[in-house]
Amino acid sequence: MPILNVCNLCKTYQAGEAEVKALDNVSFTVEKGEFVSIIGPSGSGKSTLLHILAGIDRPTSGKVYVDGEDIYAKSEKELAYYRRRKAGLIYQFYNLVPTLTVEENITLPCRLDKKKTDKETLDRLLDWNERAKKSSAEPAFRRSATTLCHRQSFIYKSCAYACRRTDRKS
């Protein structure tokens, strides 16, 4: 069974009198452990698709199944749990909480769920983060991305979705 099944996904926005189709009958499946890239020019609907897959934006029509469950059949509260526990969205601007430490940012979803943290995994991630910080080849923005990726992997999400600007070379 696929971990992600997208069926006839459509998203239409109203721009004044005009309708803009950001997604038009998009369908695909992703198997567990599979790595998928979504590429395309600016404005082609990549971020819209990722926001819908992560449960942040609702489709105009179509279905999104994660682990066999239709995520948009969920209540708003259940959808919030889905976003926190199953769908990690790594934004191009990271959205870390600036007043929290790296450790606190990594463990934030666990603390919100009042779950115990796996100390061994956390120590390994923090050690990797510390080594990256000391490396002059690792710019600050990459450390932020690393922290966010660690947060997503630490809480064992089913799916991680990442947005990256298309106009930047790195």
pLDDT tens digits for range 67-123:
899 999 999 999 988 887 777 666 555 566 778 777 777 777 777 777 777 777 777
Yes or no: say if 161 and 6 are a contact pair by the CB < 8 Å rule. Answer: no
- What average pLDDT does the chain have? 76
pLDDT at residue 170, rounded to an integer: 44
Rounded CA separation 90/46 (Å)? 13
How many Å is the maximal CA-CA distance in the chain? 56
pTM above 0.85, yes or no: no
